[in-house]
Amino acid sequence: MKYRRLGKSALQVSELCLGTMNFGPRTTTAESFEILNEAMLSGINFVDTANQYGGELGVGTTETILGQWFAEDPSRRDSVILATKVHEPMSEEINDRGLSARHIQAACDASLERLGVDHIDLYQMHHIDRAAPIEEIWQAMERLIAQGKITYVGTSNFPGWAIAQASEKAIAKQQLGLVSEQGLYNLIERRAEMEVLPACRAYGLGLIPWSPLAGGLLAGKSSDATGRRQSDDMKTAAADRADQLTQFETLSESLGETPSVVALAWLLHQEGVVSTIVGPGNKAQLTSVIKVPELYLSEETLAKIDEIFPPCGPAPEAYAW
């Protein structure tokens, strides 16, 4: 496994980040433990979750499973860079959601209890809250840092302008500010290149792509076609992009790799990307991509990939005068 600094911080995280959204809804507790153990053995030290994860089992379920894993061997906590998120509704209560200072404080305390830990390494705002002044958000985050409950702050699904706004407020107060953005980025969805990635580079945030395989579209025809890939929407998307996906699969085969491995490796070749989420549903899916950080893609290969999946164009000032 290889490691990179988390944005402008000095913290070192693995180039693969274990996403846990499947823990509970799709993967049993026992299977989740197997995945976590395999991840640790392979050198993955970065684990991402969210207080909302749990699906039909209920919000908080995934954090609870992680808490049970930590409780099984408390020494594991020392080896894990633990990230979770705040924003999504946790109940029908009107204030039990969003990024008000009140909710951030309460949600953090609840996450700490479910996880069974005394601090969260990376606390991420799951979505932008346009009703919450950035001053209020930083007030809450600064309090949590002072209390020792969180160490670093990140965003998720934020536009470039909001990353800039939040970063400038922190700079004005001579604070570290944001260190990461977890955003949608893959070969099919490359709009992050227009504003989000440039903002991350300018303000020292490491980008953590989610859905790196575009919901399974980039996994290849021979992969385990389960879950979202069987939905009507995904089948339609696969049909619409059949030519692209076939070309990509052929290119991957010429490299002696699976499309999943190449798609993940491509992300790690993009300036500003610090670690990419992998969300395995079982241990085998995890082991199949462990070698991703070791795969080097030549300039020629990267150019061929751009031909198949064209970038968005010059950024971030494509339309500036």
Confidence category of residue 220, pLDDT binned at 50, 70, 90? confident
pLDDT at 229 over 80: no
Could you tell me the residue range of the domain that residue 140 belongs to? 3-308
Which amino acid, residue 89? P
Question: Active-site residue 53, yes or no?
Answer: yes
Are the C-beta atoms of residues 179 and 9 closer than 8 Å to each other? Answer: yes
pLDDT, mean of residues 125-139: 97
pLDDT digits (tens, 9 = 90+) for 31-63: 999 999 999 999 999 999 999 999 999 999 999
Determine the Cα–Cα distance for residues 89 and 84; give it in Å rounded to an integer.
15
CA angle 229, 230, 232 (to 5 degrees): 105
Determine the Cα–Cα distance for residues 264 and 157; give it in Å rounded to an integer.
19
pLDDT at 228 over 80: no
- Helix 160-172 to helix 134-146 angle, to the nearest 10 degrees? 60
Sign of CA dihedral 204, 311, 126, 135: positive
pLDDT at 180 over 90: yes
Q: Domain for residue 98, yes or no?
A: yes
Report residue 290 CA to chain centroid gap.
16
Q: Domain for residue 66, yes or no?
A: yes
Lookup result for tokens 């976590």: 36
Tell me the whole-structure pTM to 2 decimals.
Answer: 0.95
The pLDDT of residue 321: 64
Confidence category of residue 227, pLDDT binned at 50, 70, 90? low
pLDDT at 314 over 80: no
Q: Domain for residue 318, yes or no?
A: no
Determine the Cα–Cα distance for residues 64 and 115; give it in Å rounded to an integer.
6
The CATH number for 299's domain is: 3.20.20.100
Which helix (H) or strand (E) is 318 found in, with range? none
Closest CA to 86 of 52, 137, 132, 121: 52
Q: Domain for residue 314, yes or no?
A: no
pLDDT at 230 over 70: no
Write the DSSP symbol of residue 205.
P
Which amino acid, residue 164? A
Q: Domain for residue 319, yes or no?
A: no
Closest CA to 17 of 295, 227, 289, 201: 289
What token pair was written down for 146? 């002072």
**Does the bond joining 316 to the residue before it have cis omega, within 30 degrees of 0?**
yes
What token pair was written down for 207? 């980008």
Q: Which one of 53, 123, 152, 203 is the catalytic residue? A: 53
* CA-based radius of gyration for the chain: 19
pLDDT digits (tens, 9 = 90+) for 281-306: 999 999 999 999 999 999 999 999 99
Confidence category of residue 240, pLDDT binned at 50, 70, 90? confident
Number of domains in the chain: 1
Which amino acid, residue 8? K
